[in-house]
Amino acid sequence: MRIATWNINSIRARAERALGVLDRWDLDVLLLQETKCKPEQFPAEPFEAAGYQVAAAGLNQWNGVAIISRIGLDNVEIGFPGQPGFAKEDGAGALLSEPVVEARAIRARVGTGSRGIDVWSLYIPNGRSYNDPHFRYKLEFLRRLRAAVGEQLAADPARRILLAGDWNVAPEDTDVWDIDFFRNDVGMYVTDEERAVFNAFGKPGTGTEGDFAGPALTELTRGADGADYTFWDYQRLRFPKNHGMRIDFGWASPELADLFAAAHIDRDERKGKGASDHVPVIMEFDAEA
């Protein structure tokens, strides 16, 4: 079974590229982020003609997530229990709007074998800057996601879960092309706070008050072949210079991690006119589709 995650940066602009990735990698499931459209605007027809089902979530031309599957698409859920919303604030921190739960998470059960997989397509908020309300929103989003998944696994430790997408975190110094540039000039993606909430997915919870429950998850893509990075900005010739970042990952529950076989980064997808600034990350499992 092959499952890929990809921040496509507009599905309407890159539907043909998505179809090409499905064919080239013989994918069973493709998890998309930053689709930038409402569900009714999603170009589902060519995917359905190719034998895939589509589930999408989106509120406007921003954010948006989707799941494309040829091995079933059941129990679709938009968002996760406790998912926080984002509210605009003034300079003093007073709310200027009611919190809005953005289209950043979608789940579905895939697989036609005896046991399916709950796959999540996730688009974690960008923190923007250290003092921006988006930074606090990002940390809270990740904390609540970890708590929600931990609760599910505490109730059913054998559940097969994959959390994959654009995490907007570079958990190791080698995940960015120049760590000093990011620490001194950018300040996001590599902060201790962001790394701590990301790495919490790889730790077991105690289930005590103030702590999440459930077993540790396993990040699958660290040893992926094909490239060191999954994102190259459009500006300043970042791709030709290989000034990239590794911010797209997949976390698996223990039961699913035991079936993991290999991971690949499709660097070639960043080439040519009209490419997304991210590339697909493919995960292979020794499991019946």
Residues 247-261: tens digit of each pLDDT = 999 999 999 999 999
pLDDT in tens, 93-139: 666 678 899 999 999 999 966 689 999 999 999 998 888 889 999 99
Binding-site residues from annotation: 7, 34, 166, 168, 277-278
User: Which CATH code is given to the segment(s) 2-285?
Assistant: 3.60.10.10
- From start to end of the chain, where are the E strands? 2-7, 29-33, 53-57, 65-69, 74-78, 105-110, 117-123, 161-166, 218-219, 248-252, 260-265, 281-285
Strand arrangement, sheet containing 65-69 = 53-57, 65-69, 29-33, 2-7, 281-285, 260-265
Q: pTM for the full model? A: 0.96
Give 176-187 as a DSSP string: BS-HHHIIIII-
pLDDT in tens, 176-197: 999 999 987 665 899 999 999 9
pLDDT in tens, 46-104: 999 999 999 999 998 889 999 999 999 999 999 999 999 998 766 666 666 788 999 99
- Looking at the DSSP assignment, which residues form a beta bridge with residue 264? 225, 282
Q: Which two tokens stand for residue 52?
A: 């895939």
Binding-site residues from annotation for Mg(2+): 7, 34, 166, 168, 277-278
pLDDT reading at 143 higher than 90: yes
Contact 231, 247 (CB under 8 A): yes
Q: Report the catalytic residues.
A: 123, 166, 278
Residues 6 or more apart in contact with residue 65 via CB below 8 angstroms: 31, 32, 33, 35, 56, 57, 58, 103, 104, 105, 106, 121, 122, 123, 165
What are the domain boundaries of the chain? Answer: 2-285
* pLDDT for residue 130: 84
Averaged pLDDT, 18-29? 98
- Sign for the pseudo-dihedral over CA of 272, 49, 117, 56: positive
Burial class (CB in 10 A: 0-12, 13-18, 19+), 137: buried
